[in-house]
Structure 1
Amino acid sequence: MESLRVKVHVKHELGRALLGEFIGTLVLVLIGTSVVAQHILPSPRLNDFIGVNVGFGLAIAFGVAVSAKLSGGHINPAVSLMFLSFRALSPVAFILYTLVQTAGAFVGAALTYAVYHEAIENFSPGVRLVAGGKASAGIWASYPAGHLSLFGGLVDQIVATAVFCFLIAHITDKRNSYPSWVQPLLVGLSFVAIGNAFGFNCGYPCNPARDFGPRLFTFFFYGGDVFTHKGWFWVPIVGPFIGALIGAWVYQFAIGFHTTKEEETRYVIVGKSEKTEERKPLTSTGEEVEMHTA
């Protein structure tokens, strides 16, 4: 990673600044306009969906927090694949992480069913449905909205997971100096943004284990429809893996490889007037570049 970073690092300060502004504005508009689209397009409105977004964001924040010291807090095979591509995780560890993440999701789904099975029975007495007005399988796994094609769903999951992993790559990049204690909260908040922006089409799973583990559990109560309904089940598995790699490496080539560590740049005040202050950064190479701040 470091050797590649040296090769592609943009050395011109203004070039890095322009690249940063381009990517930052892209993220702002992509998420912001998607949030607006989700507000305008559904009928009825999805205001109550905000609670789901916040709840899942908190779930991720605490899931990452409790596991971070032990494993790095991936809790998502797509995120693990991202770190595998960064050579921060071995192939064997990636496979094992994926297996235990899926197992954890399966058990979590079983516990939810244990807590809510009486409410589900009250909601749809004697039946467990994947589709229709009394469907409850969507509590556990994602299913596409009526307007969504398989290709559209694949695009949805690639883009949503790419944005999510782009943000995770940024948050966990040591060069950005986020304190370790705040990173789980930021990851959770980033998923709130993903939910608000991309939840309309299929519920923004963005996590192969989170979708497949619970789907496998529901197979025992809802039957084979959980895997055959609209041929959907593979989309939230394949899409996030593709999106994770795209988001991770877009971050590295657009931002990460061009970011300097905080300690690599020191500033000294060389002149000051009533309205402006002139500073010169002392870079690790000893090269001085003037900066004026109002």
Structure 2
Amino acid sequence: MLGVYCSGVSGAHLNPAVTLANCIFRKFPWKKLPVYALAQLLGAMAASLIVYGNYKSAIDVFEGGQGIRTVGLDTSTAGIFCTYPAPLLTKTGQFFDEFIGSSILMFCLYALLDDGNNGAGNLTPLGLFFVIYGIGACFGSNTGYAINPARDLGPRIMSHAVGYGKQVWTAGDYYFWVPVIAPFLGCTFGGFLYDTFIYTGDSPINAPYMGFTRFVGVRAKARRSTMV
């Protein structure tokens, strides 16, 4: 919630999957997507490194000795930084848990921002806090509800670098790719659902042929301009 208030000048996406959905449905410039995604990833890495540095001594004691870093044990601390699935889940279950959570996130975020549908206005960050809290309460026990590729991948890279080793990538039958890919697809689907059933503003979903003709027209215009 505080992150949204602090980074409002840039739109406070804080999530590459949200940025992608905004590029698709809200005309956010595509050229900014790589810049935003990189900034979000680096921010997550920096934040997790600060947390690790602050609690390094406590982690040493809890893990059983200085420099001991483990994944998947009762005394493991890797879960502080990135998500790991419950052992009972299949790969399909892992994926859809993240997909559904991310879809709900994007659907509710668009509802909070939609002034044509009693949007939350200045209370959007508070509303988003309750949305994420609800997603965590409902989906947290399965996968840890990453619902944000940067929030999971950034700390995972950091935890590998500080000594948790390759297990951060192999744990959960190579689970690491699920919280990276599923949120992109889930947020896109959530945005699609909101614009299809509720949103009445400017969106590709509300354009003729779902904006396909506009997309083709832009591409054709770009080709003509390069030929001049």
Smaller-chain TM-score range? 0.7 to 0.9
Partner of 2:92: 151
Question: Are 1:208 and 2:149 an aligned pair?
Answer: yes
Q: Distance in 2 between matches of 1:136 and 1:150?
A: 23
Q: How does 1:127-142 map to 2 (within 5 A)?
A: 127-142=68-83
Q: Distance in 1 between matches of 2:31 and 2:170?
A: 31
1:165 partner amino acid = M
Q: In the alignment, which of 159, 176, 180 is matched to residue 237 of structure 1?
A: 180
SS of structure 1 residue aligned to 2:200: helix
Q: Distance in 2 between matches of 1:129 and 1:237?
A: 22
Pick the structure with greater CA Rg.
1
Q: How does 1:111-126 map to 2 (within 5 A)?
A: 111-124=50-63, 125-126=65-66
Question: Are 1:226 and 2:172 an aligned pair?
Answer: no
- TM-aligned CA deviation for residue 200 of structure 1: 1.1
Q: CA RMSD in A?
A: 1.3
> Unaligned 5+ residue runs, structure 1?
1-60, 259-294
- TM-aligned CA deviation for residue 215 of structure 1: 0.3
Structure that is richer in helix per residue? 2
> Unaligned 5+ residue runs, structure 2?
202-228
Q: In the alignment, which of 64, 68, 72 is matched to residue 11 of structure 2?
A: 72
Q: Distance in 1 between matches of 2:150 and 2:126?
A: 21
1:239 partner amino acid = A
Q: Distance in 2 between matches of 1:180 and 1:153?
A: 34
Partner of 1:92: 31
Q: How does 1:1-294 map to 2 (within 5 A)?
A: 61-68=1-8, 70-124=9-63, 125-126=65-66, 127-178=68-119, 180-220=121-161, 221-229=163-171, 230-257=173-200
Q: Distance in 2 between matches of 1:165 and 1:107?
A: 25
2:124 partner amino acid = Q
Asked whether the equivalents of residues 112 and 120 of structure 2 are also in contact (C-alpha less than 8 Å), the reply is: no
SS of structure 2 residue aligned to 1:233: helix
Asked whether the equivalents of residues 112 and 127 of structure 2 are also in contact (C-alpha less than 8 Å), the reply is: yes
Q: Distance in 2 between matches of 1:190 and 1:179?
A: 13
